[in-house]
Amino acid sequence: MQHISSTLGVPDTSYVPQHVAIIMDGNGRWATQRHLPRIAGHNRGLDAVRAVVEASAARGVQFLTLFAFSSENWRRPADEVSFLMRLFMTALRREVVKMHANNIRLRVVGDLSRFSPRIQQLIADAEARTARNTGLTVTIAANYGGRWDLLQAMRKMLARQPMLDPETIDESVLAPHLAMAYAPEPDLFIRTGGEQRISNFLLWQLAYSELYFTDTYWPDFDAAELDKAFASYRQRERRFGRTSAQLVAPGLSGTA
């Protein structure tokens, strides 16, 4: 299914964001503040994932995308990276059973070739198992980078049509090759942990997303925090390039 591009048309918007994308940041600082090792923060971060998945499903969100590990996170100390890999495996084993029981579809996007064969197998199994579920789609971005995504999309596009005339390349030629082509663009982007940056997350897809930043560290983020973000979202006027006046008199507006 092709979703409307926010730069080519005006997407439907509703009260509850259809697609929420989150940079789950602040696990390390949450732990350090408590004189705990950083990994304790990652453990608690997984509890927050559970809470936010549940709350998103209950509120009628259709797509929830969570940045779990960036293409730059390999630069961290080896013991932290290997802990995160183990945690990812645990989550894939345990959480997927619950997700499946709750009709949740799981997808993982990113350059998966860098993960161990075991993790790759767990990902494939989890995706296959939940593929026919019709509730919330949870996407985990793992070894994901926005630039990687654009580059892999360009490679796929050219591999399919090596003689492609550059003049004919438009959004609709490239976008289907992006890792998240199955989802509409995020309506709401949330970053916890106080930093106000994109950190190479969904570069193409965030073109018209509403941005929400909170100082709350990810392990403290819960249903009530999600509701705060949604309340902020509801205050926004999503104009997609148009004027405010066009929004109150939609008959006068162009659709593109």
Could you list the active site residues? Answer: 25, 73
Segment 8 to 67, residues that bind Mg ion, using CB under 5 A = 25
Q: Which two tokens stand for residue 68?
A: 């779990």
d(CA 214, CA 155) in angstroms, rounded, equals: 36
Q: Which two tokens stand for residue 203?
A: 């570069």
d(CA 254, CA 139) in angstroms, rounded, equals: 33
Q: Does 221 bind ligand IPE (CB under 6 A)?
A: no
> Segment contacting ligand IPE (CB under 6 A): 23-31, 106-114, 151-159, 234-242?
23-31
Least Cβ distance, residue 15 to ligand IPE (angstroms)? 27
Q: Does 86 bind ligand IPE (CB under 6 A)?
A: no
Instruction: Report angle CA 134, 137, 143 to the nearest 5 degrees.
Output: 150
Q: Does 184 bind ligand IPE (CB under 6 A)?
A: no
Least Cβ distance, residue 252 to ligand IPE (angstroms)? 42
Q: Does 73 bind ligand IPE (CB under 6 A)?
A: yes
Alpha-carbon 200 to chain mean position: 12
Q: Do residues 49 and 66 touch, judged by C-beta distance below 8 A?
A: yes
d(CA 222, CA 213) in angstroms, rounded, equals: 15
Q: Does 146 bind ligand IPE (CB under 6 A)?
A: no
d(CA 220, CA 194) in angstroms, rounded, equals: 13
Q: Where are the beta strands (DSSP E) in 103-226?
A: 105-109, 137-144, 188-191, 210-213
Task: Return the residue of 6, 10, 19, 28 that touches ligand IPE, per CB under 6 A.
Answer: 28
Nearer to ligand IPE, 18 or 71 (CB): 71
Q: Return the amino acid letter for 121.
A: Q
Least Cβ distance, residue 201 to Mg ion (angstroms)? 12
Task: Return the residue of 5, 6, 18, 27 that touches ligand IPE, per CB under 6 A.
Answer: 27
Q: Does 17 bind ligand IPE (CB under 6 A)?
A: no
Helix axes 117-130, 78-101, angle to 10 degrees: 20
Q: Does 197 bind ligand IPE (CB under 6 A)?
A: yes
> Segment contacting ligand IPE (CB under 6 A): 8-16, 20-28, 181-189, 243-251?
20-28
Q: Does 209 bind ligand IPE (CB under 6 A)?
A: no
Neighbours of 31 (CB within 10 A): 21
Q: Does 157 bind ligand IPE (CB under 6 A)?
A: no
Binding site for ligand IPE (CB under 6 A): 23-29, 67-70, 73, 84, 193, 195, 197, 199
